[in-house]
Amino acid sequence: MTLEFYDTTLRDGAQSEDISFSLNDKLRITEKLDEFGMHYIEGGWPGSNPKDLLYFKDVKKLNLKNSKIVAFSNTVKANTKPEDDETLRAIFDADTEYVTIVGKSWDLHVKDALKVKLDTNLKMIDKTIEYLKKHGKIVFFDAEHFFDGYKNNRPYAMDILRVAYNAGADLIVLCDTNGGSMPYEVYDIVREVKHEIKAKLGIHTHNDTENAVANSLMAVKAGCVHIQGTINGYGERCGNANLCSIIPNLILKMGYEGLSREKLVQLRELSLFVDEMANLIPDKHRPYVGDSAFAHKGGIHVSAIRRNPETYEHIEPHLVGNRQRVLISDLSGESSILYKAEEFNIDIEKDKKAAKEIVKKIKELEMRGYQFEGAEGSLELLIKKALGLHKKYFDLIGFRVIVEKKEKNQPISEATIMVKVGDRIEHTAALGTGPVNALDNAFRKALYKFYSSLKAMDLVDYKVRVLSTKDGTKAVTRVLIENSDGEKNWGTVGVSENIIEASWQALVDGIDYKLLIEEEKTNKKEDKKVEQTL
Query: In the prediction, which pLDDT does 246 show?
Result: 98
Q: In the predicted model, what is the mean pLDDT of the chain? A: 91
Q: What are phi and psi of 492, to 5 degrees?
A: -135, 160
Domain assignment present for 204: yes
Query: In the prediction, which pLDDT does 330 show?
Result: 34
For the chain, the first-to-last Cα distance in angstroms comes to 52
> Which comes out higher in pLDDT, residue 250 or 341?
250
List, in order, residues 6 or more apart from 274 with CB less than 8 Å away.
Answer: 9, 29, 32, 231, 232, 234
* 3-state SS class at 106: coil
Domain assignment present for 329: no
Query: In the prediction, which pLDDT does 146 show?
Result: 98
Burial of 513 (0-12, 13-18, 19+ CB in 10 A): buried
The single-letter DSSP state of residue 100 is E
Domain assignment present for 37: yes
Q: What is the CATH number of the domain that holds 197?
A: 3.20.20.70
| Total domains in the fold of the chain | 2
- Give me the helix-helix angle, 183-196 and 154-167, nearest 10°: 50
Distance CA 273, CA 373 (A): 5
Distance CA 352, CA 323 (A): 18
Q: Which amino acid is at 409?
A: N
Distance CA 226, CA 36 (A): 17
% of the chain surpassing 90 pLDDT = 70
Q: How confident is the model at residue 165 (pLDDT cuts 50, 70, 90)?
A: very high
Q: What is the CATH number of the domain that holds 423?
A: 3.30.160
Out of 382, 417, 450, a domain closes at 450
Domain assignment present for 19: yes
Domain assignment present for 143: yes
Query: In the prediction, which pLDDT does 506 show?
Result: 95
Per the DSSP assignment, residues forming a β-bridge with 404 are 412
> Which comes out higher in pLDDT, residue 407 or 125?
125
pLDDT at 333 over 70: no
Distance CA 9, CA 7 (A): 6
Residue 524: alpha-carbon gap to chain centroid: 31
Report which of 335, 361, 360 is spatially closest to residue 349, judged by C-alpha positions.
335
Together in a domain, 254 and 398? no
Give the residue-averaged pLDDT of 390-403.
Answer: 93
Query: In the prediction, which pLDDT does 355 show?
Result: 80
Is 213:241 a contact under the CB 8 Å cutoff? yes
pLDDT at 154 over 90: yes
Out of 428, 450, 472, a domain closes at 450
Query: In this structure, are strands 395-404 and 98-104 parallel, antiparallel, or unpaired?
Result: unpaired
pLDDT at 336 over 70: no
Is 488:510 a contact under the CB 8 Å cutoff? no
Per the DSSP assignment, residues forming a β-bridge with 7 are 41, 229
pLDDT at 98 over 70: yes
Query: In the prediction, which pLDDT does 460 show?
Result: 87
Q: What are phi and psi of 301, to 5 degrees?
A: -65, -50
Q: What is the DSSP string of 17-78?
A: TT----HHHHHHHHHHHHHHT-SEEEEE-TTT-HHHHHHHHHGGGS--SSPEEEEEEEPPPT
The single-letter DSSP state of residue 75 is P
Query: Which helix H or strand E contains 442, and what residues bound it?
Result: helix 435-448
Together in a domain, 194 and 47? yes
Report which of 214, 276, 283 is spatially closest to residue 250, judged by C-alpha positions.
214
Q: Which amino acid is at 200?
A: K
Query: In this structure, are strands 201-205 and 295-296 parallel, antiparallel, or unpaired?
Result: unpaired
Report which of 272, 281, 203, 194 is spatially closest to residue 241, judged by C-alpha positions.
203
Query: In the prediction, which pLDDT does 131 show?
Result: 97
Q: How confident is the model at residue 530 (pLDDT cuts 50, 70, 90)?
A: low
pLDDT at 238 over 90: yes
pLDDT at 24 over 50: yes
> Which comes out higher in pLDDT, residue 73 or 406?
73
pLDDT at 331 over 50: no
Domain assignment present for 402: yes
% of the chain surpassing 70 pLDDT = 95
Q: How confident is the model at residue 332 (pLDDT cuts 50, 70, 90)?
A: very low
* 3-state SS class at 251: helix
Tens digit of pLDDT for each residue in 273-322?
Answer: 999 999 998 998 999 999 889 987 665 776 777 778 889 999 999 999 99
Give the residue-averaged pLDDT of 502-507.
Answer: 95
Distance CA 395, CA 423 (A): 10
Query: In the prediction, which pLDDT does 362 show?
Result: 81
Domain assignment present for 384: no
Query: In this structure, are strands 40-44 and 68-74 parallel, antiparallel, or unpaired?
Result: parallel
What's the half-sphere exposure (Cβ side, CA atoms, 13 Å) at 530? 6
Query: In the prediction, which pLDDT does 299 show?
Result: 58
Query: In the prediction, which pLDDT does 344 show?
Result: 83
> Which comes out higher in pLDDT, residue 468 or 130?
130
Out of 226, 259, 292, a domain closes at 259
Query: In the prediction, which pLDDT does 59 show?
Result: 97
List, in order, residues 6 or more apart from 67 with CB less than 8 Å away.
Answer: 30, 33, 34, 37, 38, 39, 40, 41
Give the residue-averaged pLDDT of 101-114.
Answer: 95
Distance CA 146, CA 161 (A): 9
Determine the structural domain holding residue 34 and report its residue range.
4-259
Which range has the worst mean pLDDT, 137-151, 263-277, 477-491? 477-491
Query: In the prediction, which pLDDT does 130 show?
Result: 97
Q: How confident is the model at residue 503 (pLDDT cuts 50, 70, 90)?
A: very high
Q: What beta strand segments (E) does 433-528 contain?
A: 458-466, 477-484, 489-496
Q: How confident is the model at residue 329 (pLDDT cuts 50, 70, 90)?
A: very low
Query: In this structure, are strands 477-484 and 489-496 parallel, antiparallel, or unpaired?
Result: antiparallel
Q: How confident is the model at residue 363 (pLDDT cuts 50, 70, 90)?
A: confident
Query: In this structure, are strands 98-104 and 68-74 parallel, antiparallel, or unpaired?
Result: parallel
pLDDT at 368 over 90: no
Domain assignment present for 411: yes
Query: In the prediction, which pLDDT does 328 show?
Result: 35
pLDDT at 528 over 90: no
